[in-house]
Chains A and B, each alone.
Chain A
Amino acid sequence: MLKYLFAKNEDIPAGSAAIFWGFSSIVWFVIGTGLGSFNAAKLAFPDFVTGNEMFAFGHMRQVHVHAVIFGWISMAFGMAMMYITPALGNTKLWSEKLGIWNAFLWNVGLSLGLTLLWIGMTSGREYSDFPWFIDLYIAVFMAVPLAINVWMTVLTRRTQGIYTTNWFFAAGVFMVAIVFIVGNLPEWFHLTGLTEAYLTWWFAHNVLGLWITPVAAAIAYYTIPKVTGNPLYSHRIGHLHFWSVVVFYSTPAAHHLMSAPLPEWLKSFASVEGVLILVPAIAFVSNIMLTMQGKWNMFVENLEVRFTITGVLLAIPLNMQGGFQQTRAINWYVHGTGWIVAHAHLALLGFSTFLEGAAVYLGLQTLMKRKLYSLTLGNMHFWMLLIGFSIYWTSMTIAGLIQGAGKIYEVPYIDVVIAEHPYMIARWLGGTMVFISNVIWLYNMWMTAREGTVVPAGRLPHEIAYER
């Protein structure tokens, strides 16, 4: 892949950039979940790896979080954009070479940033823990080139209309650039106090709401009609979904700070918008579910559809939790507990990961024109990922409720730690299952590239999934 860095754009085979992004994302997923498993082990077994501050939980947690968000999720998005955006415009990617350089610089920057976090150089701001110069690098060498490639591909399309997926992609890369630049102002200009707190959570909320959520949803708008052959149920509901994401997801940042001395009107405003996050969720889930009419057998039979629909179904508990846990009445109880950790994993490891998994499975097979090496390993990956995630989510939700009760009734902290210990072990087991499933996935995709059956011209990989 690196040989294309200095090749002429026209000499680079179509899809090369997407393949680079796709394999990078899986490798980061393995690294990110491996670190997650390590961190969970430290919480379950306090004597596990002590004596070296670089392996302390405070160091390793940030590396895990950023490896997953910027490595796995964002690079899987880059992969999806590199092949879906041109496909929907009946055109080629604007610049394969820019795409390959972008993936290369993404991997270099992320490796550097994670190393700095590992040795303890951090801004200490949730989801934006990288030091300011790495943030600048991310904006200039990672986010902006991706946005340029996506926008230019949309602008040079050979269709008059723009399909729903590409609205979300084009808006997503634009919004994340704004979120990144504005959200990191406290680091570049040393803003402090409530301003910093508010901007930190404005960033953290919107990197989820204006990047991960809409782009993950956009993948479902592509994979379900593409694989099932059904038309998207409603272009009109797509409009409601798109605009409600932009309007209702961009405003509730203050609901992360319900106990802070922010103006009460801002918290109330944010809290109402927080519940209204259910509007895009309802639009999205209903549109995809209705698109599946007559093809529900594929939920069982087809791997990409199963990944996609699982992600879509997980959007229901995700948004029910997200909408209501931020209201004053419930936030009082769950704030600062493992419930929130469970919710974050429901968003990133549940809802979005299953959608990204579908994009990477479908994209890599389509672009490499090779059938999946082993459907059995693919199924094993799906079930281990789902069961591992479910164990994690359930155990952390219960642990969070215990912590909430301990907080409210002022139970001594050490008693709460003892009470939640079994759930910390369950969390480690679930997380480790997720990690192992991803190692299997990496092997399966590697073998697909090397030994997968060549897909005949004019056919799609999923059409021949059960043919020997």
Chain B
Amino acid sequence: MAFIMDNPLSTTNSPEQNELDKKLWEAEDLGGITEDNNRMPVPVVWLLLLTVLTAFAITFPLWGQRPTALIYADFVKDLDKPEIQALSDAAAIEKIVAAHKGDALAFQQERHPVTMDELRALKPKIEELQKNGADLQDYTVVGVDIVLANFEGNFKSGAHEIPAIIGGQLLKNGERQRHQPWWDDGYTIDIFYVCLFFLGVTLVVKRLPPSSWQPVHGHEH
């Protein structure tokens, strides 16, 4: 059962093993049913590839993902400015959004428009979280509520005193070791998972005789 890697895209079996498999394949009667050894048709392979690409493209969180509290942090600061308070609500929100057009978070702010009433309701909650030193990226805005929603990320535990060095920095207990960016919510795991799956299935089917060989079924069913 050794792996022969002469031509791994055809078969990883030895010629002797393939001969044994072929004989068994043609001789064995599985309740009157037989099987062929066809490869997957090329258009179906393309369809599978398209499916995998679509899976990542369509679930990418451009749509439907809730905003984090972080994207409104600068907005609520602007609420106290006299020039904003002097304007009507419609003009005020327009001015606030325009003032942050060049921000790093502008793309997400555009995806999740907000009203002045909502900002007023969110303001004390965001300020309270900031006062407590919370990372606003971990909090999701649901209507006018702010809830803890991102449980991802390891924290340096106080249970042991082994120093943790991440990215060249020595972390203290309670500090975050890793933070997942908003655009990568689960995708690295998925890429790893999908790659392992296709590798596993490829290894399995390459233990069969090559698809260029087809069994001859000599009996009627």
Q: Which residues of A contact B (CB under 8 A)?
A: 84, 87-90, 159-161, 163-164, 222, 225-226, 229, 231-240, 243-244, 247-248, 251, 258, 261-276, 278-279, 282-283, 286, 290, 323-324, 327-329, 331-332
Contacts and interface: CB of A to CB of B under 8 A. Distances in A.
A222 B54 contact: no
Given A236-B208, A244-B197, A161 B55 contact: no
Which are the 5 A-B pairs with shortest beta-carbon distances? A328-B64, A268-B186, A275-B55, A269-B186, A265-B186
A265 B58 contact: no
Contacts of A327: 58-59, 64
A237 B186 contact: no
A64 B61 CA distance: 37
B153 to A, nearest CB: 10
Contacts of B51: 275-276, 278-279, 282
Interface of B: 24-25, 28-41, 44, 47-48, 51-52, 54-56, 58-59, 61, 63-65, 140, 142, 147-152, 180, 184-187, 189-190, 193-194, 197, 200-201, 204-205, 208, 211, 215, 217, 220-221
B205 A239 contact: yes
Contacts of A236: 37-40, 205, 208, 211
Nearest to B27: A160
A225 B34 contact: yes
Nearest to B40: A237
B41 to A, nearest CB: 7
A90 B29 contact: yes
B65 A328 contact: yes
Contacts of B39: 234, 236
Contacts of A286: 40-41, 44
Contacts, number: 178
B205 to A, nearest CB: 5
B37 A235 contact: yes
Nearest to B55: A275
17 contacts: A90-B31, A160-B28, A161-B30, A232-B36, A234-B35, A234-B38, A236-B38, A263-B151, A264-B65, A269-B186, A270-B186, A272-B59, A273-B55, A282-B48, A323-B55, A328-B64, A332-B64
Nearest to B41: A286
B34 A267 contact: no
Contacts of A261: 140, 142, 147-149
B217 to A, nearest CB: 6
A276 B40 contact: no
B58 A324 contact: yes
A88 B33 contact: yes
B112 to A, nearest CB: 13
Nearest to A227: B221
A237 B211 CA distance: 11
Contact of A232 (B35, B58, B180, B186): B35
A228 B44 CA distance: 24
